[in-house]
A = this chain, B = another copy of it.
Amino acid sequence: MSKEMDQLKEILAEVSDLNNASAVLGWDQQTYMPPRGAEARGQALGTLEKLAHEKFTSPEVGKLLDALEKQAASWDPDSDEARLVKVTRRGFNDATKVPSTMVIERAELTTMGNQAWQEARSKSEFSIFEPHLVKLVDWARRFAELFAPYDHVYDPVLDQFEPGMKAADVKAIFDEIRPKQVDLIKRISEAQQVDDSFLHQEFPEKQQWDFGVDVVTAFGYDWSQGRLDKTTHPFQTTLGVGDHRITTRVYPDFFNPYFFGTLHEAGHAMHAQGVSEDLKRTPLYDSPSLAIGESQSRMWENLVGRSKPFWEHYYPKLQKAFPDQLGKVDMETFYKGINKVAPSYIRVEADEATYNLHIMLRMELEMAMMEGEAEVHKLPVYWSELFEKYLGVTPPNDKEGVLQDVHWSFGLMGYFSTYALGNLVSAQLWEVIERDIPDISGKIRNAEFAPLLGWLNQHVHAPGAKFEPQEMVQRITGSKINGDAYLRYLETKFSDIYGL
Cβ < 8 Å to B, chain A residues 27-71:
27-28, 32-41, 43-44, 46-48, 51
Q: Are A43 and B25 in contact (CB under 8 A)?
A: no
Interface string of A455-480 (1 = CB under 8 A from B): 00000000000000000000000000
CA distance A141 to B416 in the complex (A): 62
Q: Are B25 and A243 in contact (CB under 8 A)?
A: no
A227 at the interface (CB under 8 A from B): yes
In the complex, how many angstroms separate the beta carbon of A488 from the nearest chain B beta carbon? Answer: 39
Q: Can you name 23 A-B residue pairings with CB atoms under 8 Å?
A: A17-B43, A17-B46, A17-B47, A17-B48, A18-B48, A21-B21, A21-B25, A21-B44, A21-B48, A24-B25, A24-B44, A27-B28, A32-B227, A33-B239, A34-B245, A37-B225, A37-B240, A38-B242, A40-B242, A40-B243, A41-B239, A41-B243, A51-B51
CA distance A131 to B243 in the complex (A): 36
Chain B contacts of A14 at CB under 8 A? 47, 51
Q: Are A43 and B13 in contact (CB under 8 A)?
A: yes
CA distance A35 to B226 in the complex (A): 9
Inter-chain pairs besides A14-B51, A21-B21, 16 sampled, C-beta below 8 Å: A17-B46, A17-B48, A18-B47, A24-B25, A33-B239, A35-B242, A36-B222, A36-B224, A40-B240, A40-B243, A40-B280, A40-B281, A41-B239, A41-B243, A44-B240, A51-B51
A241 at the interface (CB under 8 A from B): yes
8 Å CB contact of A241 from B39, B46, B48, B281: B39
CA distance A14 to B54 in the complex (A): 14
Known: A17-B48, A51-B51, A227-B32. A281 touches B37 (CB 8 A): no
Chain B contacts of A240 at CB under 8 A? 37, 40-41, 43-44
Q: Are A44 and B32 in contact (CB under 8 A)?
A: no
In the complex, how many angstroms separate the beta carbon of A143 from the nearest chain B beta carbon? Answer: 27
Q: Are B20 and A239 in contact (CB under 8 A)?
A: no
Which single residue of chain B is at the shortest CB-CB distance from A226?
A: B34
CA distance A21 to B222 in the complex (A): 26
Chain B contacts of A245 at CB under 8 A? 34
CA distance A18 to B50 in the complex (A): 11
Q: Are B280 and A243 in contact (CB under 8 A)?
A: no
Copies in the complex: 2
Q: Are A24 and B34 in contact (CB under 8 A)?
A: no
8 Å CB contact of A20 from B17, B35, B40, B281: B40
Chain B contacts of A75 at CB under 8 A? none
A150 at the interface (CB under 8 A from B): no
Chain B contacts of A25 at CB under 8 A? 21, 24
Known: A17-B48, A43-B13. A34 touches B223 (CB 8 A): yes
Chain B contacts of A40 at CB under 8 A? 20, 239-243, 280-281
Chain B contacts of A239 at CB under 8 A? 28, 33, 37, 40-41
CA distance A47 to B12 in the complex (A): 12
8 Å CB contact of A242 from B37, B223, B225, B227: B37
Cβ < 8 Å to B, chain A residues 247-280:
280
Known: A36-B224, A242-B34, A242-B37. A44 touches B17 (CB 8 A): yes
Q: Are B39 and A224 in contact (CB under 8 A)?
A: no
In the complex, how many angstroms separate the beta carbon of A244 from the nearest chain B beta carbon? Answer: 8
CA distance A222 to B241 in the complex (A): 35
8 Å CB contact of A36 from B28, B36, B242, B281: B242
Q: Are B43 and A227 in contact (CB under 8 A)?
A: no
Chain B contacts of A51 at CB under 8 A? 14, 18, 51
Chain B contacts of A241 at CB under 8 A? 36-37, 39-40
